[in-house]
Structure 1
Amino acid sequence: MNTLASRFKRTGLFALSALFIVVAGCTVGPDYKQPDSTLTASYQNQTLLQQRVGDTPSPALDTWWTGFNDPELTRIVQRVLDQNLDLAKSFARVEQARAAAQQAGAIRMPQGSLDGKATRQRQSTESSQGQVGSAFPGYDRNQTLETLGVGASWEADLAGGLKRGEEAAIDEAQAAEASHIGVRISVASEAADAYFRIRGAQQRLAVAEDQVKTQNNLLDLIKDRMGSGLATNREQAQAEALVLQARATIPPLRTELATQLNRLDVLMGAQPGTYSQELTNSPQQYSVPTISDSQGPAELLRRRPDVIAAERKLAASNARIGAAISEYYPKVSLSGLLGFDTAHSGQLFSSAAFQPQAIIGLHWRLFDFGRVDAEVAQAKGANAEALAEYRQAMLKATEDVEDSIVTLVELESQRSEVDQEVTAHQTARDAAQDAYKGGAVSLVEVLDEDRQLLTSRDQLAQLHANDARAAVSTFRALGGGWPQAGKETTAKK
C-alpha cells in the first residue's frame, strides 16, 4: 500500500511538473558543463625538451612532416592523406554520424504526407455491404473507390526529450569527426614511421655491404701474404668466417626493407610494390627537427583527437540523461488530415466527398514497473563511465608525451655517443690493419676491430632512423598533423 501510495504521489507530482513544462517549455535533465582540467602547466620532462636542439627549426605542428626537410617524406605523407583507405572509412563514419544528427533534428519538426489511392472493384453480393446495397434500385456491383488526403503531424516536445536526443546526436557526430582526425594523425605518423624504418634498413644494408667489401679486401690481403709465407691457413679461415658473418646480416635487413615498403604501399592505398622503386632511387637524406615546448598539457585538450572525442562522448551521455528523464512526462502529438473519399468516380473533389480530420494524442507512461527509473539509472551510469574515460584519455595523452620526450632525448644522447664510438673504432681498425701489414700485431686484433666497427656502424645507422621515428612519435603524441582552424574533418575523401 505504501508503495502504491508513493507511486500515486509521484504521479501527481509529475502531472504538476508536466503542466508547468507545457506552460514554460522547459527541457529536463542536466545541462552539460565540461569538467575542469587538473593537468599541470608544464610537462615533467619539459626541461629535457627545452635543452634539446634539433638539426632544423621547429616546424608548424599542423604539418610537422615538413620539418624533416625531406621532399620524399612530404610527398609520401600527402599521398597517404589523399589515398589511405582507413581514412576513407573513418570519413564515411563521420558522414553517417552527421546524417544521424540531421535525422534527430528533423524528428522535432512537423511531418507532412500526401496519400492517394484509386481502386476498381466488383463487389460481392454475398458480402454484408453487397447484400444491403443490392436491395436498392440502381445498384452497380462495379465500383471505383477514390481517396486523396494531405496530412500533417507533430509531436510537441514538452519535456525536451527530442531536443536532448538531437544534442546527443550532434555531440556524437562531433566525436566521430574527432576520431576521424585521430585516424588522419595516425596514418600520417604510420607513414613517416615506415618511411624512416625503410631509410634505416637502407643505411644498415649499405653498412653491411661496405663491411663485406672491407672483409673481402682483408681476405685478399691474407691470401697474398700466404703466397709469401707470411700468413697461415688459420688466418685465412678466420677472415673467410668474418666475410660470411657480415653477409649473414644482409638477409634480415632485406626482409625488413621489403616488409616496410609493402606497409607503406598499403598505407598509400596501393598494392605492395607500387611505389617501392621511387624510394629505392631517391636520396636518403633527412634531418630531425627541433620540437617546440610552447604547448603545455592543457593544450592536449584542444589538440589530441582522442581527448576531444572522449569529451564529446561525455557531452552526448549527459544529453542522454535528459532524454531518459523526459519519459517521465506525457507526450502530446497533433495531426490533421484534409482528404477526399468517394465511391463514385468523378466526384472526388465534391463537397460531399470532403473528409477532414483533426487528432490530438496523449501518451503517458504512468505505470511501467520502474522501466523509466531503470532507463534513467542506465543513462547516468553511462555518463559516469564516459567521465572516467575522458579523464583516462587526458592522463594517457600526457603519458604519451612524457614517454616520447624521454625516448627522443635519450636516443639522441645515445646516438652522439655511438657516433664518437664509430670514429674511435675506425681509427683503431685502420691502425690495426697497418700494424698487421707490418707484422706488429696478429690478425686476431684486426678481426676483432672489424667486428666492433661493424657493430657500432650498424647501431649508429639504426639510431639515426630511430631518432627520426622518436620525433615522429613526439609529434603524434602532441596531437600534431591537423589544422585546428580548418577542422580537417570537412575534407573530402
Structure 2
Amino acid sequence: MTGRYALAILLVLLIAGCAPVGPDYHLPQRATINAPETQGHFVSRHSGTATATPDGPWWRLYNDERLTRYVQQAFAANTDLRIAEANLERTHALFAEAKTAKEINGAANFDTSYVQQSAEAYLSHTKPPDHQIYNTGISLNYDLDLFGGIRRGIEAAAADDQAAIAAHDLVRINVAADTTRAYADICNAGNELKSARRTLGVQKKTIELTRTLVAHGRAASFDIDRQEGLYEQLKARIPLLNARQLNAAYRLTTLIGQPPESYDRTLLACAEPLQLASPLPVGNGRDLLRRRPDVRAAERRLAASTARIGVATAELYPDIKLTASIGSQGGVSDVLSPLTNRFGVGPTINWNVNRNVARSRIAAAKAQTKADLAAFDRTVLVALRETETALTNYAYDLDRLNNLKRARNRAAVVDRDARKLWRGGNIDALATLDADRSLAAAEQAYAEAKTRLNVDQIAIFLALGGGWQTAPPPAQVALRTTSSDPAR
C-alpha cells in the first residue's frame, strides 16, 4: 500500500505542476507604450514628409547606386556589425543551453586503482591485502520541473535571445546611418567647396579692380589691404572643408572594413548633395514603436525579468527528479559479477528548508521587473522624443532652405541684370562685382543649408528605426493589451 500511496502523491504533484509558478508575461496595461498619445501621428509633420510607413532600405530613396553599394559593403564587413553578430551567436548558444535543462541528462564514469585500505579505519589491527578495485557506471536523471522553474528559465533565455536580435538590428541601422552620413558629408563638403571657391574667385576679381582704382587715384591704397584681408579670410575656410571631406572619406572607408589609406580618391570629386526622390515616409507612433529595435529590446528584457520571478518562485517548492543508474564496483577479479553489479531507480527530492533565501530572490526579481518596466517606458519616451525632435529640425530647416533658395534666385536675377547694365555702360564694374559677391554668398548659404538638411534626413531615418526587413513582433508584444501587470 505504501508504494501505491507514494505513486498517488507523485501523480498529484505532476498534475499540480502542469502550470509553472510565477506571473505569466503580458505587456503591462499601464506601460507608456499603451497610452493613446503614443499611437497616433507625430506632432511635427511637414509638407516634406508623408504618413506612409517606412519599409525597406531607406537609403534607396536617394537613388544613388554608389551609396547603396557602400551600405551593402558595410553590412558585409563592418567591425561593429561583426561584433554584434558574434554576440548574437553567443546568445543563441546560451538559449540552446537553457533548453537542455528539459532533456534527460546523464553521466558515465570509469576509474580503477591499486589500493590498500586503512586497517584502523575499521578498528582492525590486521593489515588488509593489497588489491586492485574499479568503479564504473551510467546514471541518468530527468527533472520533472513540477513547478516550472526550468520552463521559466527557458522563457527568460528566449526573451534574452530576442533582445539580442533587436540589439543586432540596432547596430545594423546605426551602421547604415553612419555610412550614409559619411557619404553625404563627402558630397556636401564638395558642394560647399564649390561655393567657397566661387566666392574666392569673386573676391580675387574685386582685388584686381581695387588695384586698378587705386592706380587711377579713385580709391585709397588701404582698400587693397582690406580686400586682400577679406580674401585671406575666405581662403581660410577652404582647408577646413578639405579636411572635413577627407575625414569623411576616412570614416566611410573604415565603416566598410578597410584601412583609411584605402579610401576611394574619386569620392572627393562628389559635389552634389543627396536628394530624396519623394517625401520622407514617417508613419505614426504605433508603427515606430513596433519597429524601433531599442524598444523591442527593452520589452524583451522586461519579459525576461518577469520570467525570472517564476524561476525564483519555483525555489519555494521541492525539486523532484527521476533518476536511474546502473554500474559495477569492486575488485577487478570479480568484475561484472553478481557481487559487484549494482543498479538503482527512483525519485530524488531536494528542498531548501530555508525559505527566506527564496523569498529574498523573489523580491529581487520583482524589483528588477519594476526597473525594467521603467526602463521600457523611458525607451518609449526617448524614441518618441527623438523622432519629434528630428522632424521638427527637418521642418524648420526645410523652410530655411526654401527661403535661402529664393534669396539665391533673387541674387541670381540681380547679378544677371547688373551684368546687362554693365555691358551697356550704365553701371561700373564695382557694382557688378558686388552683385557677384552677393550671389556667391547666397549660394554658399544655400549649400550649407543643404548639408544641414541631409543631416536632418539621416537623423529622422535613424530615429524611425528603419533600414532592414524584419518579421512582425511576437504576439506578446501586441500593444494595447488588457492583461495583468507582472510588475505588481
Q: Trace 1:148-163 onto structure 2 (pairs within 5 A).
A: 148-163=136-151
Q: 2:184·2:274 contact (CA, 8 Å) conserved in 1?
A: no
> Quick check: 1:45 aligned with 2:38?
no
Rounded to whole Å, the distance in 2 between the matches of 1:132 and 1:458 is 107
TM-score, L = length of structure 1: 0.83
Query: What SS does structure 1 have at the residue aligned with 2:377?
Result: helix
Match of 2:15 in 1: 23
SS at match of 1:62: coil
What is the Cα deviation at residue 18 of structure 1?
Answer: 10
Instruction: State the one-letter code of the partner of 1:219.
Output: I
Which moves more between the two structures, 227-236 or 327-336?
227-236
**What 5-or-longer segments of structure 1 have no aligned partner?**
1-16, 488-493
Per the alignment, residue 369 of structure 2 pairs with 383
1:281-320 aligned within 5 A: 281=269, 284=272, 286-291=274-279, 293=281, 295-320=283-308
Instruction: Please give the alpha-carbon distance, in whole angstroms, between the structure 1 residues aligned to 2:322 and 2:287.
Output: 49
Aligned to 2:132: 144
Residues 334-358 of structure 1 deviation map (CA, whole Å, 9 limit, x = unaligned): 322211123234x423333212234
The partner residue of 1:192 within 180, 185, 208 is 180
Please tell me whether the aligned partners of residues 39 and 297 of structure 1 are also in contact (alpha carbons under 8 angstroms): no
Taking the aligned partners of 2:313 and 2:115, their CA distance within structure 1 comes to: 54
Distance 1:86 1:53, change over 3 A: closer
Please report how far the alpha carbon of residue 264 of structure 1 lies from its aligned counterpart in structure 2 after TM superposition: 2.0
Task: State the Cα distance separating 1:316 from its structure 2 match.
Answer: 0.8
Q: Deviations over 1:137-194 (max 9, x none)?
A: xx5x3x3323221111222211111110110010011011101101111111111122
State the distance in 2 between where 1:110 and 1:373 align.
29
Q: Contact 2:205/2:433 (CA < 8 Å) preserved in 1?
A: no
Matched letter for residue 313 of structure 1: R
Q: Name the counterpart of 2:4.
A: none
- Map of 2:3 onto structure 1: none
Question: 242, 246, 253: which one pairs with 1:254?
Answer: 242
Specify the alignment match of 2:97 in structure 1. Answer: 103
Could you say which residue in structure 1 is the equivalent of 2:470?
Answer: 484
**Helix, strand or coil at the partner of 2:102:** coil
* Greater mean alpha carbon deviation, residues 315-324 or residues 382-391: 382-391
Find out whether 1:367 has 2:364 as its counterpart: no
- State the match for 1:351 in structure 2: 338
Aligned mate of 2:61, from 62, 67, 79: 67
Residues 447-484 of structure 1: CA distance to partner in whole angstroms, max 9, x if unpaired? 76566544432221121122122222222222211102
Checking the alignment, whether the CA contact within 8 Å between 2:329 and 2:341 is kept in structure 1 is yes
Specify whether residues 152 and 274 from structure 1 end up closer, same or farther in structure 2 by C-alpha distance, changes over 3 A only.
same
- Taking structure 1 as reference, are residues 320 and 106 closer, same or farther at Cα in structure 2, changes over 3 Å only? same
Residue 67 of structure 1: how far off its partner (Å): 0.9
1:74 CA displacement:
0.9
Match of residue 78, structure 1, among 72, 79, 87:
72
Q: Secondary structure at the match of 2:261?
A: coil
Letter in 1 for 2:28: P
Deviation, 1:111, is: 0.6
Where does the alignment leave 5 or more consecutive residues of structure 2 unmatched?
A: 1-8, 474-488
The CA RMSD measured in Å over matched residues stands at 3.2
AA in 2 matched with 1:354: N
Change over 3 Å in CA distance of 1:58–1:454 after alignment to 2 = farther
Bigger shift: residues 252-261 or 285-294: 285-294
Q: Is the 8 A contact 2:317 2:351 kept in 1?
A: yes
Per mean C-alpha deviation after superposition, the further-off stretch among 401-410 and 186-195 is 401-410
Find the residue that maps to 2:40 and give its secondary structure.
Answer: coil
> Counterpart of 2:443 in 1: which secondary structure?
helix
Change (3 A) 1:430 1:214: farther
1:235-246 paired onto structure 2 within 5 Å:
235-246=223-234
Contact 2:22 2:307 in 1 (8 A): yes
Match of 1:32 among 25, 34, 37: 25
Q: Which residue identity is paired with 2:301?
A: K
Q: Is the 8 A contact 2:140 2:325 kept in 1?
A: yes
Q: How many corresponding residue pairs?
A: 458
**Kept after mapping to 1: 8 A contact 2:394/2:456:** yes
Confirm whether residue 183 of structure 1 aligns to residue 171 of structure 2: yes
Which residue, out of 255, 273, 284, partners 2:261? Answer: 273
Letter in 2 for 1:375: R
Q: Go from structure 1 to structure 2 and tell me whether the alpha carbon gap of 1:39 and 1:306 turns closer, same or farther (over 3 Å shift).
A: farther
Contact 2:397-2:453 at 8 Å conserved across structures: yes
Structure 1 residues 125, 302: CA separation in 2 closer, same or farther (over 3 Å shift)? closer
Q: Which residue of 2 aligns with 1:399?
A: 385
1:422-433 alignment runs, 5 A limit: 422-428=408-414
Other-structure match for 1:490: none
Tell me the distance in 2 between the aligned counterparts of 1:273 and 1:462: 28
Contact 1:288 1:467 in 2 (8 A): no
CA–CA distance in 1 between the matches of 2:246 and 2:268? 11
Q: Distance in 2 between matches of 1:328 and 1:349?
A: 42
Report the counterpart of residue 333 of structure 1 in structure 2.
321
User: Partner of 1:13 in structure 2?
Assistant: none
Q: Which residue does 2:158 correspond to in 1?
A: 170
Q: 1:43 to 1:60 in 2, by over 3 A?
A: closer
CA change 1:398–1:53 in 2 (3 A) is: closer
Cα distance in 1 between the residues matched to 2:472 and 2:285: 22
SS in 2 for 1:333: strand
